[in-house]
A and B are shown apart, each in its own frame.
Chain A
Amino acid sequence: MVFAAARRLIGSTYRKFALDPEVAADAQIAAADFLGRKDGIFSGWTDLSVEASDFGQKIIYPEESTPHPDYSKPLIADVIGYSKVKRIDIKKAERMQGVLEMQRILKQKARGPMIGGFCFGPLGVLGMMRGTEHLFRDCLRYPDKVKTGLDIISDVLAEYVAAQCDNGACMITLDTLYASWAGLSKRLWEEIEGPFVKKLSGIIRSKGRMVGVHNCGQGAYFDSQIKYMKPDNISFAYLPDDCSSPSELKRKYGHKVTLTGYVSTALLMHGTPFDVTRECNRIIKELAHGGNFVLAPQCEFPPDAPLENAIAMVKAARYCPETLSD
């Protein structure tokens, strides 16, 4: 759960963490040591800009903030641009190769055997190259043109997830942010991105790995994501669109997937360890009974949040009665 925040443990900048596989791997190992979990799952991932960068989108790498596209220079400037997305060879894709290299280094250096992989969903990658606002309008007005771009991108992502599986990642998480109320309508998401992520999920499964889904959008469509990706795990930030309470979430989906969430980003940034522990205990009580639950932040652990709050989460998970009894 501690990704970019781990850079602080080895005195690295965010920029170095994102661009240097050795630094990223060392940061992950330091985080595992810091949190006292020598047999944990290491994150083989840095940030959301990896895939779009390799397709040619200009990315800005601030010294101490999350890398992001230069939105003043979108790779896809108009709807015609979707058909101009170039199929890339992942062997020559610098950032994807960086992530794969980081996973290899982790495997060699780390004491824990498990490494997690990650891939931004094809629509998310397209959003980075077109700008979300334009992409949303295009999905309604020119769905076929958007699908042309998605077709090329998902072919490349298929190779990328396969390479992560071959690297030994135990679970590849697909980020399908726009499958939520804050993104596209359910019908439109199923039409536009559903079939493409179904293909990616199938590849991961065919390699004998687990499929994870991360969606930190408000009102995520658990039903649609399960329908298309059959994930083992869904990491979420808010209740799904068809649940009005955590107990309903547990009842409806707790037996279908491992629920992973959902400690507030804002609380992790500014709460005390006491506040965090109290919130973790509340969430564990709501969702951990009967198993199939992983305590995690809503999104990644905030890159600049106090690391004491990560320790508070680990302690809450380790010592709460629900965990001990299970």
Chain B
Amino acid sequence: MKSGNKTIIGLKKAVSSHDRQYLQFCLRAAFEEGAGLNDIKSAMISGLEGVKARLMSNDFSIPEFLLCVDTVTSGLNEISGMKDYSSTDKGIRLVIGTVDGEPHDLGKNIIAAVYRAAGYDVLDLGRQVASDLFVREVINNDAKILALSAMMSTTAPAIKDIIVEINIKSPHTVVLAGGACLDRALSENYGADGFAESAVTVLEETQKALQNQARTKDT
């Protein structure tokens, strides 16, 4: 059974107002209405999309965005324990982390949350991740995407080394780079397939990189 329009709007509103209690209320209402897990998941993700748009237009700040992400994550955690959850769309497998020596993970955490909320299957390796661990986890999990973050100019060169290895050992994996010390030119110089400038643009950039890769395969 489809959930009511009111419940869907409620779920979106709970996300945009980062109100976890209201989200719980709406989730209960959606379950009672017999809403499908995919619909519930889509409603929460769509709520976060709206928040992202407001962040882009300076109507929302990063701290508010973080609280909205927390709200979606709590909702996703709640439904992920349900027995039908395994039948929901799993999403594209993605590995993410900050490179070796890089302790600053705020940006990476925001990006990971955005990916998760957008339905990607995220494996977050955390911060200061050894280069060979990135490569190993990409191969072991057959990841379609690898997202690498470096905030300091002293740690950024590790991105290049990881990409060299990935291109040899898992050439089908798309690599995105991001962080304060990078720009598009430097990311390309390192061999990345895309540059994640911010949480606002990362999903579009990822889609573009995936499409480019598909095109390259076709030709």
CA distance A270 to B61 in the complex (A): 32
CA distance A310 to B76 in the complex (A): 49
A266 touches B67 (CB 8 A): no
A136 touches B62 (CB 8 A): yes
Chain A: interface residue total (CB-CB under 8 A)? 37
Residues of A within 8 A of B155 (CB): 65
How far in angstroms is the closest Cβ of chain B from A220? 13
CA distance A256 to B154 in the complex (A): 34
Which of A89-97, A106-114, A246-254, A301-309 interfaces with chain B? A301-309
Of residues 260 through 315 on chain A, the ones whose CB sits less than 8 Å from some CB of chain B are 264-267, 269-270, 302-305
B103 touches A69 (CB 8 A): yes
Q: Whose C-beta in chain A lies nearest to the C-beta of B70?
A: A137
CA distance A57 to B63 in the complex (A): 23
Judge whether A105 is part of the interface by a CB distance below 8 angstroms: no
Q: Which of A14, A140, A264, A303 contacts B63 (CB 8 A)?
A: A140
Residues 160-186 of A, flagged 1 when their CB comes within 8 A of B and 0 if not, give 000000000000000000000111110
Judge whether A188 is part of the interface by a CB distance below 8 angstroms: yes
Q: A136-B66, A139-B63, A270-B186 are in contact. Are A302 and B181 (CB under 8 A)?
A: yes
CA distance A309 to B154 in the complex (A): 16
How far in angstroms is the closest Cβ of chain B from A67? 10
Of residues 235 through 252 on chain A, the ones whose CB sits less than 8 Å from some CB of chain B are 241
B181 touches A269 (CB 8 A): yes
Judge whether A83 is part of the interface by a CB distance below 8 angstroms: no
How far in angstroms is the closest Cβ of chain A from B215? 27
Residues of B within 8 A of A218 (CB): 198
Judge whether B127 is part of the interface by a CB distance below 8 angstroms: yes
CA distance A302 to B155 in the complex (A): 11
Residues of B within 8 A of A304 (CB): 153-154, 157
Judge whether B33 is part of the interface by a CB distance below 8 angstroms: no
Q: Which of A14, A137, A270, A303 contacts B189 (CB 8 A)?
A: A270
CA distance A314 to B156 in the complex (A): 25
CA distance A62 to B101 in the complex (A): 8
Q: A62-B101, A68-B104, A132-B106 are in contact. Are A184 and B61 (CB under 8 A)?
A: yes
Q: Whose C-beta in chain B lies nearest to the C-beta of A140?
A: B63
Residues of A within 8 A of B186 (CB): 266-267, 269-270
Residues of A within 8 A of B101 (CB): 62, 65
B181 touches A265 (CB 8 A): yes
A136 touches B63 (CB 8 A): yes
A241 touches B63 (CB 8 A): no
Q: Whose C-beta in chain B lies nearest to the C-beta of A181?
A: B58
Q: Whose C-beta in chain B lies nearest to the C-beta of A141?
A: B67
Residues of B within 8 A of A305 (CB): 153
Q: Which residues of B contact A (CB under 8 A)?
A: 58, 60-64, 66-67, 70, 101, 103-106, 109, 127, 152-157, 180-183, 185-186, 189, 198
12 new A-B contacts, CB < 8 A, other than A133-B109, A185-B61, A302-B153, are A65-B154, A69-B103, A71-B105, A136-B62, A140-B63, A141-B67, A185-B63, A216-B180, A264-B183, A266-B183, A302-B154, A304-B154
Could you give 7 example pairs across A and B, Cβ below 8 Å?
Answer: A140-B64, A181-B62, A184-B63, A266-B182, A270-B185, A270-B189, A305-B153
> Which 7 A-B pairs rank lowest in CB-CB distance, beginning with the nearest?
A185-B61, A302-B153, A266-B186, A136-B63, A65-B154, A266-B183, A132-B106
